[in-house]
Amino acid sequence: AYPRSVIILTGVLSGLFLAGIRLVVRWFREWLHVVSPSARRVLVVGAGNAGELLIRDMLSDGGAHYRPIGLVDDDPIKRRMKIHGVPVMGTIADIPGLARTLVAHEIIVAIPSASTSLKQRILAASEGCKVPIKTLPSVKQLLANPEALRQVRPMSLEDLLHREPIQMDRQELYPLLEGKRVLVTGAGGSIGSELCRQIARYHPTMLILFERYENGLFALDLELRAQYPKVTIVPAIGDVTVPERVAEVLQQTDPELVFHAAAHKHVPLMELNPKEAVRNNVFGTKTVAEASLANGVDRFVLISTDKAVNPTSIMGATKRLAEDLIQSLSHRGRTKYTVVRFGNVLGSNGSVVPFFADQIRRGGPVTVTHPEIKRFFMTIPEAVQLVLQASLLGQGGEVFVLDMGEQVKVVDLARNMIVLSGLVPDQDIQIVYSGLRLGEKLYEELFEETEQVEPTAHAKIRRAVNASVVQSNRLDPAIVHLEAAVSHGDDDELIRRLNEAVPTYAPMSPRSIEHTH
């Protein structure tokens, strides 16, 4: 028999031997990673659990394309710590110096729960580093799919909105949409297509895509059929300004809900094409809304804009008149008419974000109209969530407005996009000011002075209540005059008639624009 001490000593030595093998393997892997010529040197922001997992993944075979060179964290307890041999070397404020000293190729933010303000602070500290800034997926995405840790993505403007993203209870929307027939006008546009995608998730029996641009309609039709094979998708080519086609589609499909997203939205273009703006935004809305009433639609939702408040542009004035038309119809029948008003959406077709992105790709300059111009911004999914939520809240005649937080300076948006591209504003990419365009305001408003602001059941959605109810007997003569001006008058006559229909409309002259420079 062996002495007990020999058995114990053998066990201890075996454990040390196995641990030594594991250490040697880890050291060997790290050595291979260090000498890999393709490895990108990464400065990691955040020395918490996500940072530890990210570094471990980088040092494993699956993360062989990255080499963590250091961490930064504002927690004083973590100073001088090492995570898998990678030291915590400073705070967020130290990012510029460390990125230069360590020759970082990328900065990765490993804080899935980071607030918007923290992300903005990290971006501000990284300005001048000339390296791309990336981030991990959200906590929600990581919990749903742990493998998402490897899906490091570039930090986006959505991460930097001056407010926290709006969360809504999606389950309560099932009674509104499940098993229903739903029609969306302007289905091929940025808002319209996202409306279709989100509505399809709630299993309507039929989703009618009304759109005049056939290529966009074709692409959306293919996408929705592939993702939602149990939903009947009906692509309908048509123009909202053609009453016969609108009536035909509604009679054939018999929708229970109509979301009216079709509109001309470009301010400068509509200043040059006022008749088309009135045709589409006013008469198109009137056509679809009245056809919905005639066909017994349960709910009608108009997508509106903050530019309808105290409008200085033709586009804004036409959208304000469209709001008034919808409110005047709310007393005529069983259809519940609702208006949803919100600001700019990030990344929509023709918006400032893709415009800036294209200018940055070309090497600049990035053109901003005015150093003080501000806008409200939200993401397209948020805008659509608001529209759907408002549909549920609406009982008829309401104008719902999202609490969108603070307005964002457009020049700050441009600077952030340049930094996110790994470049330095005013050095690598110049920012130039081109001057306000006709119809463009320095800042937008969400409510008029005559509107009373009321809370709703949702903390982030408010209701704009006008002291005077919109009466159809006031609008009807104005609409008749507008129709005559579109058919036979010149642009000056049209603008005069539009001003009569929308008393808050204050057209801007080129002279008034010059005074804002």
Q: Which sequence positions are flagged as catalytic? A: 307
At 459, phi and psi to the nearest 5? -60, -25
Cα separation, 99 vs 103, whole angstroms: 6
Is 177 in contact with 199 (CB distance < 8 Å)? yes
Distances (CA, A) of 338 to 309, 324, 329, 401, 456: 17, 11, 10, 11, 14
3-state secondary structure of 341: strand
Is 73 in contact with 122 (CB distance < 8 Å)? no
Is 413 in contact with 273 (CB distance < 8 Å)? no
Is 199 in contact with 172 (CB distance < 8 Å)? no
Q: How many helices (H) and strands (E) does the chain have?
A: 19, 22
Residue owning tokens 């570094």: 55
Element (H, E) at 185: strand 181-185
Cα separation, 435 vs 367, whole angstroms: 9
Cα separation, 155 vs 132, whole angstroms: 9
Please give the order of strands across the beta sheet that includes 299-305. 232-237, 206-211, 181-185, 257-260, 299-305, 336-342, 398-402, 461-466, 451-455
- Which residues does 21 contact at the CB level (< 8 Å), separation at least 6? none
Cα separation, 412 vs 403, whole angstroms: 21
Q: Number of C-alpha atoms within 13 angstroms, CB side, residue 281? A: 31
Cα diameter, the chain: 115
- DSSP alpha helix (H) spans, 394-514: 410-420, 472-488, 491-501, 510-514
Is 401 in contact with 368 (CB distance < 8 Å)? no
- Paired sense of beta strands 133-135 and 106-109, if any: parallel
Nearest to 104 by CA among 45, 152, 42, 55: 42
Helix, strand, coil abundance in the chain, percent, nearest 5:
45, 20, 35
Is 126 in contact with 107 (CB distance < 8 Å)? yes
Cα separation, 60 vs 48, whole angstroms: 18
Is 464 in contact with 341 (CB distance < 8 Å)? yes
